[in-house]
Amino acid sequence: MTGLGEGNTEYGRKKFKRSRSHFTDRITAEGGDGWPVEAGRYRLVVSRACPWASRVLISRRLLGLESALSLGVVDPIQDDRSWRFTLDPDGRDPVLGIRFLHEAYDARETGYPGGVSVPAIVDVPTGTLVTNDFQQMTLDLATEWTASHRPGAPDLYPERLRDEIDEIAEEIFHDVNNGVYRAGFATDQDEYEAAYADVFHRLDQLSARLAERRYLVGDHITEADIRLFTTLVRFDAVYHGHFKCNRNKLTEDPVLWAYTRDLYQTPGFGDTVDFDHIKQHYYRVHSGINPTGVVPAGPDLSGWATPHHREQLGGTPFGPDATPPGPPPPAEVIP
């Protein structure tokens, strides 16, 4: 999710195009890009409002990387200078010492003309941005950071299932993850209706797939489930109304609603979700499509804790040799 230099009023006023990640260095066990995996060296910067950042939050929790990869959380209300650390004392990230995420981008490339996006991983010793490649970041946490994984960590990207995971993840990205944005920021009717059709065509296919299986690929949670969850959990709160994806609510699709509740109630998923940050960001920052900045009081969130009965389909969240993550660190507990 990007802070646009032209200002937040531009959201919804010009044709939407998802920017490619500009900084695509990888942090790997071998350190081929110059960034070896080292516990404690890097800091993950996220907005809890952002679905792309939420992928990394979930993966980090499931894999038990909290002590190896520290966390900085930005204010959900960004301004035209980019994401701000105004949630921290004195408005500075306590580890990086910066007020705005763009300072880490500037340390990497002076005068970088693109947007300042989250998630971002920053090298703590130098204060330099390493990567903002949200598509690759979680895959590397699952496969390159294994020496720092907790005992009992799940395999979120099993080698034998990678082709299937990659295929379904690409479909989800185009039609669902990015599809809701294409609908929400459309500047003409045809553009909107095409994106709207993509969203619900794919959701119908996913609902049919999940009617007979607990998880998208295999018998346990994988990267594919994480990528779908972060859009579905935001659907009724922001995408249904704010982005005009209003054929039906998530709660009106019995399969997808049960599937998303199943994941939400799994440790590592729901305990990373901050509905207040989500609504504050979308409704207050996207002033081009919500000029009043009024934030809806709903929807009612009490249903997230209700039974889902998905265990009847078989499968287990983490596999026979894996265990759930423990509770979040006290500093990361969401009110």
DSSP labels, 308-322: --GGGG---SS-TT-
What is the C-alpha R_g of the chain? 19
Residue ranges, comma separated, of all CATH 1.20.1050.10 domains in the chain are 159-313
Residue ranges, comma separated, of all CATH 3.40.30.10 domains in the chain are 11-148
Phi then psi for 143, rounded to 5 degrees?
Answer: -115, -25
42 pairs with which residues across the strands?
Answer: 123
Nearest to 181 by CA among 235, 122, 106: 235
* Tens digit of each residue's pLDDT, the chain (335 residues): 765 444 555 556 566 565 566 899 999 999 999 999 999 999 999 999 999 999 999 999 999 999 999 999 999 999 888 899 999 999 999 999 999 999 999 999 998 888 899 999 999 999 999 999 999 999 999 999 999 999 999 999 999 999 999 999 999 999 999 999 999 999 999 999 999 999 999 999 999 999 999 999 999 999 999 999 999 999 999 999 999 999 999 999 999 999 999 999 999 999 999 999 999 999 999 999 999 999 999 999 999 999 999 999 999 999 999 999 999 999 999 98
Assess if CATH 1.20.1250.20 describes domain 159-313: no
- Tell whether 83 is in a known binding site: yes
Q: Are strands 120-123 and 42-46 parallel, antiparallel or unpaired?
A: antiparallel
Indicate the CATH number for domain 11-148: 3.40.30.10
CA angle 278, 111, 96 (to 5 degrees): 55
Query: Alpha-carbon distance 262 to 256, whole Å?
Result: 10
Residues annotated as catalytic (active site), given as ranges: 50, 181
